[in-house]
Amino acid sequence: MDENGKVTGEMPKLTNDEIKELYKKMVTIRVYDDKTMKIQRQGRVGPYISYLGQEACQVGIAASLRKDDWFFPTYRDSGALYARGMPLKDVLLYWMGDARGFANAGNNFPICIPVGTHPPHAAGAAFAAKIKGKDYVSLATFGDGATSRGDFYEAMNFAGVFNLPVIFVVQNNQWAISVPRSRQTASQTIAQKAISAGIDGVVADGNDIFSVIKAIRYAADKARSGKGATVIELLTYRLGDHSSADDQKKYREQAEVETWKKKEPVERLKKYMLSKGLWSEKFEQDITAEATQAAEKAITDAENIPSQKLDELFENIFSEMTPNLKEELEELKEAYKDRSTESTNKVEKIEGSFP
Domain contains 52: yes
Please write down the long-range contacts of 281-289, taking CB distance under 8 Å and 24 or more positions apart: 283/20, 284/27, 287/23, 287/24, 287/27, 287/28, 288/27, 288/31
Which of 238, 268, 272, 339 is labelled catalytic? 238
One domain, residues 230 and 334:
no
Q: Are residues 316 and 201 in the same domain?
A: no
Higher pLDDT, residue 195 or 338: 195
Do 92 and 165 have their domain in common?
yes
Strand 179-180 to 175-176 pairing = antiparallel
Residues pairing with 172 in the sheet: 235
Same domain, 342 and 206: no
Amino acid 340: pLDDT: 62
Q: Are the C-beta atoms of residues 287 and 31 closer than 8 Å to each other? A: no
- Residue 9 falls inside a structural domain: no
Are 255 and 339 members of one domain? no
User: pLDDT band at 311, cuts 50/70/90?
Assistant: confident
Question: Considering the domain boundaries, does residue 4 fall inside one?
Answer: no
Tens-digit pLDDT profile for residues 103-140: 889 999 999 999 999 999 999 999 999 999 999 999 99
At position 106, the amino acid (one-letter code) is: G
Q: Please indicate, yes or no, whether residues 297 and 319 belong to a single structural domain of this protein.
A: no
- Answer yes or no: do 238 and 322 share one domain: no
**Residue 242 annotated to the active site:** yes
119 belongs to a structural domain: yes
Question: Could you tell me which residues are beta bridge partners of residue 71?
Answer: 108, 139
Distance separating alpha carbons of residues 187 and 104, to the nearest angstrom = 40
pLDDT confidence tier of residue 353, bands split at 50, 70 and 90? very low
Residue 2 lies in a domain: no
Residue 238 appears among annotated catalytic residues: yes
Split into its structural domains, the chain has a count of 2
DSSP line for 229-254: -EEEEEE----S-SSTT--GGGTS-H
CATH value at residue 25: 3.40.50.970
230-275: pLDDT as tens digits = 999 999 999 999 999 999 999 999 999 999 999 999 999 999 999 9
| Dist CA 116 CA 143 (whole Å) | 8
Residues 151 and 295 placed together within one structural domain of the fold: yes
Report phi then psi at 297, rounded to 5: -65, -40
Whether 81 and 226 share a structural domain: yes
Please indicate, yes or no, if residue 325 is contained in any of the structural domains: yes
**Does 347 share its domain with 252?**
no
With respect to residue 322, please indicate whether it lies within any of the assigned structural domains. yes
Shared domain check, 85 and 216: yes
Residues 6+ apart with CB under 8 A from 320: none
- pLDDT confidence band for 305 (50 / 70 / 90): very high
Residue 343: give the domain boundaries: 312-352
Count of H-run helices and E-run strands, the chain: 12, 7
Asked if residue 354 has pLDDT above 50, the reply is: no
Instruction: Using alpha carbons only, give the angle 289, 290, 295 rounded to the nearest 5 degrees.
Output: 100
- 7 part of a folded domain: no
Same domain, 86 and 154: yes
**Active-site position among 30, 118, 242, 268:** 242
Q: From the candidates 41, 66, 183, 251, give the one annotated as an active-site residue.
A: 251
pTM, rounded to two decimals: 0.91
